[in-house]
Amino acid sequence: MTKRSHLFFIGLLIIIGIVMLIVVNPIGNFPLNDDWTYGASVKASMAAGSFKVPDASACAIFTQVMWGILFSKLFGFSYTILRLSTLMLAGIGLIALYLLAYEITQNKKLSFFAALLLLVNPFYFSLSNTFMTDVPGLSLSILSCLFFFKALSKSNSWYVILGTFFSVAAILTRQAAIIIPLAYSFAVLFTQKNSYKHWARIIIPPVFANVVLFLFMSWMKHANPLFETYQGSASMFTFLKDIPGLVFRIFIRAGNILCYCGFFLLPILLFVIPKVFMTLSLRHKKIVSICAIVFIPCIIRMWSALPTGNLLNSDGLGPRLLRDTYLLFVNVHPVSDAIIHLLVCLAMIGALLTVVGCSIVLVNTASAIKRRAHTTDNSRRVFLLVFLLGYCMLVFMPFSFFDRYTLPAFFIILLVVISAVPASSYDKTWYTPILFTSFIGLFSIFSTHDYLAWNRARWQALDYLTKDMHVSPLRIDGGYEYNGVTFGSGHLSTEGKSWWYVSDDEFMISFGPVDGCKIIKQFDYCNYLPLKEDCIYIVQRK
């Protein structure tokens, strides 16, 4: 019966995901966002018979490329196949999160709801329909956490080995996963009675992960001429030299993480955190309230700073990397101030509830450590809190920040929140939270559909230009993805042209009319949010 119940909820998740994908239609042999660089690595590696990074990348991407090669060997290389490979990992990540949430709550309904929140998260769902590294990195991280959680409750070395293996796989996709084995070590060190047999578990996972990353970086330095760009032009020490700048980034990005995560977690935060807060002792209520007050300034600062940019924008999901919208700021469809202010208010409420929820778990964990309560639940809370703090510190330091970087924090905070849910709440009705979740899900579906639809029309226009009109790609500004995949980052742009490797922009792809250009042809597509017929244009300089 237990297995059937698990299969029922996992099957329901898969069915919901498939229905969402049918509406979106992820098919299309074209790159999206930065995934042309990772697709180029897959293609180059298959041709060379060894791992190659022909273009610059800020991520390790080794696991990502190997996964892409596996699918390309089986089904042939195309961006559709690469997209399907990501969708496969996204599904695995959802199942792993369900099982991970069940490890914490021992409740199937709440575990299903937690996995559903990740499925409908706009960043998770939209990135699942690309070959970007965010979802593969997160899915592997979830698998790693699942096995490390099992290792904390059961004295089985195989769980430690599997947790370490998947953490290394995640690290070789996105380096921020380096925090995971460290979080496990802290959980063992501070919450379990130490003995000699535990020291191996404390030391080996983080040391092994760091050694693998160091060796990989060293190998890349000698094997890849683009290593300096790949590695990043600024080291951690460079970031730390600019203390005022670092403090400012912490202030701004803490608000970003709290508001984005708070908004997408509102369905559970609104119905759980106030009740949990009322069960605290007076002393703990005061401590939690002080923590909330400390974060209020960075939350208020977000009133005029949201959305941050990259994936989420006034037109929905996905960056519109065409010259007219992205650089000339024309043919943009701004959302009314009233709607933006309403959404930001909800995000700020969610941010405050997120601080309260995390503070409750922090206070309860600190109290348990003080009492030397060596419980599995407390070990897991230490793991999650160290993971959250470590990941945030990694995000705070670099100069660049995108809204999609909040996705791992969303996953960790989700687990922190459900770890605070009292058992008495498990059997309560979840209809209202699920209704709220459905609105987020509809936005994710329709916006992701629109993102792929206009890109599909864009590439139809580019095919018409190059195949029917026989226009040289050197005369085309087809947007970041087109010029990137056609020329690569080694191709320098002509002065005054778009920065994405454009020699001449006699012909441009646009969302509408552009001053000084005449319209050659338009390509229609159906937009779902809002529901209307829209167009992509080929324009030519007069």
Point out the least confidently predicted range of 55-64, 104-113, 375-384, 435-444. Answer: 55-64
Q: Is the pLDDT of residue 487 over 70?
A: yes
Q: Is the pLDDT of residue 231 over 50?
A: no
- 192 or 209, which is more confident: 209
pLDDT computed for residue 196 by the predictor:
67
Q: Is the pLDDT of residue 54 over 80?
A: no
- 399 or 286, which is more confident: 286
pLDDT computed for residue 396 by the predictor:
86
pLDDT grade, residue 234 (50/70/90)? Answer: very low
pLDDT grade, residue 324 (50/70/90)? Answer: very high
pLDDT computed for residue 178 by the predictor:
94
Q: Report the alpha-carbon distance of residue 164 to residue 159 in Å, rounded.
A: 8
- Smallest CA-to-CA distance from 198 within 160, 224, 231, 236 is with 160
Please compute the mean of the pLDDT values over residues 382-403 and round it to a whole number.
Answer: 90
Q: Report the alpha-carbon distance of residue 159 to residue 99 in Å, rounded.
A: 14
pLDDT computed for residue 488 by the predictor:
83
Please compute the mean of the pLDDT values over residues 306-326 and round it to a whole number.
Answer: 89
Please compute the mean of the pLDDT values over residues 17-33 and round it to a whole number.
Answer: 96
The SS3 assignment for 477 reads strand
What single-letter amino acid sits at 522? Answer: Q
Task: State what percent of residues in the chain have pLDDT above 90.
Answer: 68
- Smallest CA-to-CA distance from 285 within 349, 293, 247 is with 293
Q: Is the pLDDT of residue 227 over 60?
A: no
Q: Report the alpha-carbon distance of residue 125 to residue 440 in Å, rounded.
A: 11
To the nearest 10°, report the CA torsion of 363, 369, 374, 378. Answer: 20
Q: How does pLDDT run across 211-220, given as a tens digit for each residue?
A: 999 999 888 8
Point out the least confidently predicted range of 146-150, 308-312, 496-500. Answer: 308-312
Please compute the mean of the pLDDT values over residues 218-231 and round it to a whole number.
Answer: 64
* CB neighbourhood size of 435 (10 A): 10
pLDDT grade, residue 195 (50/70/90)? Answer: low
When mean pLDDT is compared over 52-56, 408-412, 493-497, the highest value belongs to: 408-412
Q: Is the pLDDT of residue 441 over 50?
A: yes
Q: Is the pLDDT of residue 399 over 80?
A: no
pLDDT computed for residue 46 by the predictor:
94
Residue 250, Cβ density class (10 Å: 0-12 exposed, 13-18 middle, ≥19 buried): middle
Q: How does pLDDT run across 344-364, given as a tens digit for each residue?
A: 999 999 999 999 999 999 999
pLDDT computed for residue 232 by the predictor:
46
pLDDT computed for residue 442 by the predictor:
96
Q: Report the alpha-carbon distance of residue 93 to residue 415 in Å, rounded.
A: 14
Per-position DSSP letters for 486-537, written without gaps between them: HH-TTSPPPTTS-TTT-S--SEEEESS--TTEEEEEEEEEEEETTEEEEEEE
Q: Report the alpha-carbon distance of residue 42 to residue 133 in Å, rounded.
A: 13
- 206 or 200, which is more confident: 206
The mean predicted confidence, pLDDT, of the chain is 90
Has this prediction a pTM greater than 0.85? yes
pLDDT computed for residue 5 by the predictor:
86
pLDDT computed for residue 1 by the predictor:
42
Q: Is the pLDDT of residue 129 over 60?
A: yes
pLDDT grade, residue 116 (50/70/90)? Answer: very high
Start-to-end CA distance of the chain, whole Å, equals 71
pLDDT computed for residue 424 by the predictor:
59
Q: Is the pLDDT of residue 184 over 80?
A: yes
Per-position DSSP letters for 399-457, written without gaps between them: S---GGGGHHHHHHHHHHHHHHS-GGGTTS--HHHHHHHHHHHHHHHHHHHHHHHHHHH
- 245 or 142, which is more confident: 142
What single-letter amino acid sits at 440? Answer: I
- 396 or 46, which is more confident: 46
* C-beta separation of 55 from 227 below 8 A: no
pLDDT computed for residue 161 by the predictor:
95
pLDDT computed for residue 225 by the predictor:
60
Q: Strand 316-317 to strand 507-510: parallel, antiparallel, or no bridges (unpaired)? A: unpaired
pLDDT computed for residue 435 by the predictor:
85
What does the block give as tokens for 287?
């401590």
pLDDT grade, residue 429 (50/70/90)? Answer: low
